[in-house]
Amino acid sequence: MPDTETLVRHLRDLLIEDLSPILAGRPVILVNQHAARNVIDSYLTDAGAPEVTHLRALEDRATLTEYFRDFDHTLANPHEDLLQSLHAIDPHKRAVVYAGSPVSHPTLDGRPVIGARLPAWKQAESKQSQVAILGQQARYDVTYIPFNDTRDPDEFAELLRSRTPCVAAGDPHDMISMSSDHVYFIHQRLSDEAITDISRRLLHACRGVRVSRFMTGCPTTIYGVLIGDRLSFLGPVEALVGYTESDGRVTAPGVFAPVADATSFSHSDTARLADLVLRLAQETGFQGAFGVDGVVSDGRFTAHEINTRVCGGFSLVSHMLNGTLSFGVVDIVARHGSTHQDDILDLLDQVNEALFPHHPDARIWSDAACEKHLRSVAPRSSDKWSLERWTQEVRRSALRSLSPFFAVEQDAVARS
């Protein structure tokens, strides 16, 4: 098999060929894409964009859910400062705009937004839609409870108590929940007052809630790309998930490593997951990059969510490839239609085979001191004992890093 550098070079050439007619020689305005600027800029330039300009249209928000709600609103209703900046950059409205994979508004002040997802793809991320797609899996005990004006918080709190331990994940009003926003772990040590408070919070903020049985095991994320009716998977990777002991709030800081045991994700898991993604595609017309969150428990993967966009964890794969592959571009090409569909997916399959599961020092981590420590203890070989020890060190370091901000119960993270 060719090395990953050769594979990515071939991928890049095909992606640029597909990207070129999408750009059609027009300038590109990248909105709030500063984190990805080095990689994506070169793709756009090589695909024929005469100019690539970065523009910041929105500052960060308290949560990702609020950020992407406000981002779509800003695209639909640009504020005066943004309009002035756009006019200064592109007075004749010749440019196309790229604003990232999660956005769904198709234009910005008369300029087409490339790579935007359709509203149906965005809506597919709601907890209610996810239950409809994923709720029939074996061992996945899940239900969706729509709220109405007459629902009593004490009644809902009693329902949560009756299903303990369980996970409650809300659909916020007029938004699609992102990351771990509005997600709570209802565990045995939560006080009655805390559960009632969770009930009130969800009833106030959400239009409905998904309630699922808590599953022990390894939190796992699978990434993938769908073009036409073909899929390519990347992963699996292990995710870090914790919760606050006092109020049950779940936090999911990111993914940190390929799953140590390759046998924990089987061919039958892949086949079942492909069926689920293709079912979603049949119902919504979805195309593009996606991420699937779930749990490997007793040797079987159970999917909890399918995210119809480039997820943050794609950065892990890009990092493993030395930052040379832009999954934003992969997503754009998949959504607009590729003339090299089979070749691109074949190459992604080879990239996956080359990278996973043997890349123990790859991870996303924001704490520099923790990153330095983890690199110092990372195994120097594929020795299984070393890899298991390194994984334990990751968890311990993660807890130390999180502890100033979250009262994370160590046993819970160790079990997860």
The pLDDT of residue 415 is: 33
What is the C-alpha to C-alpha distance for residues 385 and 141, in angstroms, rounded to an integer? 35
What is the C-alpha to C-alpha distance for residues 122 and 124, in angstroms, rounded to an integer? 5
How confident is the model over 373-389, as a mean pLDDT?
A: 49
The pLDDT of residue 379 is: 46
How confident is the model over 394-405, as a mean pLDDT?
A: 46
How confident is the model over 179-205, as a mean pLDDT?
A: 94
Residue 6's pLDDT band, with cuts at 50, 70 and 90, is very high
What is the C-alpha to C-alpha distance for residues 118 and 335, in angstroms, rounded to an integer? 10
Of all helices (H) and strands (E), which one includes residue 169? strand 166-172
The pLDDT of residue 410 is: 35
For residues 374 and 363, the answer to whether their CB atoms sit within 8 Å is yes
Residue 355's pLDDT band, with cuts at 50, 70 and 90, is confident
The pLDDT of residue 25 is: 98
Cβ atoms within 10 Å of 201's Cβ, excluding its own: 17
What is the C-alpha to C-alpha distance for residues 334 and 323, in angstroms, rounded to an integer? 20
Model pTM above 0.75: yes
* Mean pLDDT over the full length of the chain: 85
For residues 194 and 80, the answer to whether their CB atoms sit within 8 Å is no
* All domains in the chain, ordered by first residue: 4-122 (3.40.50), 141-213 (3.30.1490.20), 218-379 (3.30.470.20)
Of all helices (H) and strands (E), which one includes residue 314? helix 314-320
pLDDT digits (tens, 9 = 90+) for 233-278: 998 888 878 788 889 998 877 776 777 555 556 778 889 999 999 9
What is the C-alpha to C-alpha distance for residues 281 and 229, in angstroms, rounded to an integer? 9
145: CB partners within 8 A, 6+ apart: 156, 159, 208, 209, 210, 211
The upper half-sphere exposure of residue 171, i.e. CA atoms within 13 Å in the direction of its Cβ, equals: 22
Cα angle at 240 between 235 and 242, to 5 degrees? 150
